[in-house]
Amino acid sequence: MLLPYVLVGAILFVLGMIGFITRRNLIVMFLCTEMMFQGIIVNLVAFGRYPLNGVPTFDGQVFAVFLIAVAAVEAALGLALVVLLYRNKETLDAGAWKLLKDE
Amino acid sequence: MPGIASWVERSVRAAGEWNLNGMSTLLVIFLVLGATGLFLALPGTRGGWRPVGMALLVAAGILLVFVLADFALGRELPIWFGGCALVALFAATRVITHTKPVYSALYFVLLIVAVTGLLLLMSAEFLAAALVIVYAGAILVTYLFVIMLAQQARLAPYDARAREPFVGCVAGFVLLAIIAAQLLVAPSGVGAEPTVEEAAGTVEAVGTLLLTDYIIAIQLAGLLLLAGMVGAIAIARRQAADSTPQNGGVD
């Protein structure tokens, strides 16, 4: 039963990646990175539950706990940056920042 | 050069082998349907085609049930797994295709709940609870605050059109095809049921591991959270160059 979980995790990751590439709203792009994290979490727990030697461990779940902590930090910093960028240009369009300099 | 040639030869032979067991055609149809449907369903100028894209995605979802059943290697797929997986993928698709960011965030909550169901099926109870509390409870509320702070009343032009939807869909589904093809050629021992009766991932089981083997790592995670919090406050309080100072001009 490992492979169906891995496939679902892979599809979640790929959907997040497609959203990150194609959407232009900064907030939706950040949501898509969180979606990629979800795919990874499913994979980590599945690999911990169905290891090759047949003895399940909790290391995958511990790894996922750290992943959640990192995701929380990333969301806090990312959203703070989004707020700062929005105050500067009054837009959430990622394309508005492609020059990376003051006009 | 001979390395590349032998790699190509091996790949072609592997492709021929996994073409024989009959499930690869199903997988290819699923990938093509999904890519086409997602391309049409992403927000863009092709307004009339979006329902077609949605219909193609629904068809891909129905196909996915059979693909997953094939990946279960002959064992019966639990109906809860199929349900949770389909709800998760439906929510994920809506997150990236919806033109209103508020609805994207709310569909993301649905995605979290479905992923929680998947984790419970793997008896990761503590992680499931933590995921709901941290993601649906804390992170998504922050997202909603920012969306309500920054969102315009009507549909913004950058939400109405996707950037390079064709390139994005092709890149994503080529990656997915590579991963799925590798899963198909997995050796027979991979993914077998645990030989030992598995214990549930309760707070006690995970917490004991966290506070013994991973004690340094969890201290570092706390440090990272503290640094992230300080950084977020510092960034968010900085005034934009041309805006009037607030909070008594703190900066």
User: pLDDT of A9-56, one tens digit each?
Assistant: 999 999 999 999 999 889 999 999 999 999 999 999 999 988 888 788
Nearest to A61 among B64, B149, B206 (CB): B206
Q: Is residue B73 part of a domain?
A: yes
Residue B16 — very low, low, confident or very high, per pLDDT cuts 50/70/90?
low
Residues B54 and B146 in one domain: yes
The pLDDT tens digits for B110-162 are 999 999 999 999 889 999 999 999 988 889 988 998 888 887 777 787 888 88
Q: Which domain holds residue B223?
A: 214-251
Q: Rounded to whole angstroms, what are the CA distances from B1 to A70, B8, B13, B14? A: 42, 11, 18, 20
User: A38-75 as b/e, with b when 16 or more CB fall inside 10 Å?
Assistant: bbbbbbbbbbbbbbeeeebbbbbbbbbbbbbbebbbbb
B5 Cβ contact list (under 8 Å, min separation 6): none
Residues B48 and B113 in one domain: yes
Residues of A in contact with B224 (CB under 8 A): 69-70, 73
Residues B123 and B223 in one domain: no
Interface of B with A in 92-151 (CB under 8 A): 92-93, 95-96, 101, 104-105, 108, 111-112, 115, 118-119, 122-124, 126-127, 130-131, 134-135, 138-139, 142-143, 146-147, 149-151
Averaged pLDDT for residues B30-57:
86
Between B144 and B7, name the one with better pLDDT: B144
Confidence (pTM): 0.87
Q: For position B15, what pLDDT does the model report?
A: 60
Averaged pLDDT for residues B19-46:
80
Residues B33 and B155 in one domain: yes
Domains defined along chain A, listed by start:
2-92 (1.10.287.3510)
Number of structural domains chain B divides into: 2
Q: Looking at chain B, list the stretches that DSSP marks H as alpha helix, in order from N- to C-terminal side.
A: 2-20, 23-41, 50-71, 79-97, 101-121, 125-131, 140-150, 157-160, 165-184, 203-212, 215-237
- What single DSSP character describes residue B76? P
Q: Is residue B103 part of a domain?
A: yes
Q: Is residue B126 part of a domain?
A: yes
Q: For position B21, what pLDDT does the model report?
A: 53
pLDDT(B3) > 50: yes
Residues B179 and B241 in one domain: no
The pLDDT tens digits for B168-216 are 999 999 999 999 888 888 777 777 777 777 777 788 888 899 999 999 9
